[in-house]
């Protein structure tokens, strides 16, 4: 696993859910308009 460092204001953990041919992560409504980063912390499936 690689190690990355980033600065931010909070850490939120959610499960990724399939949607059609892709996947979505739902974040709190307060995040609308904010810049966010997603880091995959588990091995990729398949």
Assign 18 a pLDDT band (cuts: 50, 70, 90).
very high
Taking residues 4-32, report their average pLDDT.
Answer: 90
With 90 as the cut, is the pLDDT of residue 27 above it?
no
CB 38 within 8 A of CB 12: no
């Amino acid at each position: 696993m690689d190690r990355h460092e980033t600065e931010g204001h909070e850490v939120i953990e959610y499960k990724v859910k399939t949607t059609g041919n892709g996947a979505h992560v739902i974040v709190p409504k307060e995040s609308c308009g904010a810049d966010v980063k997603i880091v995959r912390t588990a091995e990729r499936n398949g």
